[in-house]
Amino acid sequence: DIQMTQSPSSVSASVGDRVTITCRASQAISSWLAWYQQKPGKAPKVLIYAASILQSGVPSRFSGSGSGTDFTLTISSLQPEDFATYYCQQANSFPLTFGGGTKVEIK
Amino acid sequence: QVQLVESGGGVVQPGRSLRLSCAASGFTFSSYGMHWVRQAPGKGLEWVAGIWYDGSKKNYGESVKGRFTISRDDSKDTVYLQMNSLGAEDTAVYYCARDLVLAASSNWFDSWGQGTLVTVSS
């Protein structure tokens, strides 16, 4: 199985800050990566797929980059509605696997 | 708009079975792959199973392989998850999710249901 490791596990930030979350795959997955946002008690929402393609309707302050084993999700200017937990997910091979999550908290 | 509604969750004793359903609406169900993803209380996301849009392929997570079965009924716009030999480790909110790509298998998820809670306890 491909292991997905996210860092940090949590980050405290202020509104307007730039936030970067990293995801590392245990083996190369090309660009077969997505990022999801989940708020408490809610289902996840896809933000980015194919490592860098912004899902329709997602604000442009979210961006993704990377390929192979190392990936990054960047929020360019954190907004109040962005405080949530973020997960990466590989779709390169079965079983599909998620990272452990990164909780973005208010500083 | 796209809507996915799960049902069938509840409290079940260890070793027993349960079948979850996910009713879809707002899109051409037969053109999309479907998945189940679960989340144990306070924990992260775990992919459970997926079925291709045409039902030709099914895949499972390692922890459920041989115990869970995913199926679909396109006449009812519904995907199912039959869960057998349940254990405490299967306690979770179970979400159904739609594949992001039409008539293919991207294995990313663009629409999710609200989830149904399964609690395995004696």
Q: Which two tokens stand for residue A46?
A: 């896809």
In this structure, the number of other CB atoms found within 10 A of the CB of residue A93 comes to: 14
Residue among B109, B11, B92 nearest A96 (CA): B109
- Alpha-carbon distance of B29 to B109, in angstroms, equals 14
Higher pLDDT pick, B74 / B106: B74
Per CB-CB distance under 8 Å, the chain B contacts of A101 are 44-45
- Count CA atoms closer than 13 A to B25's CA, side-chain side: 5
For residue A88, the cross-strand partners are A35
Q: Do B47 and A55 touch (CB under 8 A)?
A: no
Please, what is the average pLDDT of chain B?
A: 97
Contact A96, B47 (CB under 8 A): yes
Task: Compute the nearest-CA separation of A104 from chain B (Å).
Answer: 14
The confidence score (pLDDT) of residue B102 equals 87
Q: Which two tokens stand for residue B112?
A: 């999710």
pLDDT tier, B88 (very low <50, low <70, confident <90, very high otherwise): very high
Q: Do A45 and B112 touch (CB under 8 A)?
A: yes
- Alpha-carbon distance of B35 to A51, in angstroms, equals 20
Angle, CA A100 vertex, CA A95 and CA A103 arms, to 5°: 145
- Alpha-carbon distance of B70 to B83, in angstroms, equals 9
Portion of chain B with pLDDT greater than 70, in percent: 100
Instruction: Give the pLDDT means over successive 10-residue stretches in chain A (107 positions).
Output: 97 96 98 98 98 98 98 97 97 97 94
- Alpha-carbon distance of A95 to B107, in angstroms, equals 10
- Cβ neighbours for A41, distance < 8 A, ≥ 6 positions apart: none
pLDDT tier, B104 (very low <50, low <70, confident <90, very high otherwise): confident
Arithmetic mean of pLDDT, B4-30 = 98
For residue B69, the cross-strand partners are B82
Task: Compute the nearest-CA separation of A51 from chain B (Å).
Answer: 11
- Cβ neighbours for B28, distance < 8 A, ≥ 6 positions apart: none
Contact A4, A99 (CB under 8 A): yes
Query: Per residue in B25-74, pLDDT tens?
Result: 999 999 999 999 999 999 999 999 999 999 999 999 999 999 999 999 99
Q: Based on the number of CB atoms within 10 Å of its own CB, is B21 exposed (0-12), middle (13-18) or buried (19 or more)?
A: middle
Q: Do A87 and B45 touch (CB under 8 A)?
A: yes
Q: What are phi and psi of A62, to 5 degrees?
A: -90, 135
Q: Based on the number of CB atoms within 10 Å of its own CB, is B79 exposed (0-12), middle (13-18) or buried (19 or more)?
A: buried
The confidence score (pLDDT) of residue B113 equals 98
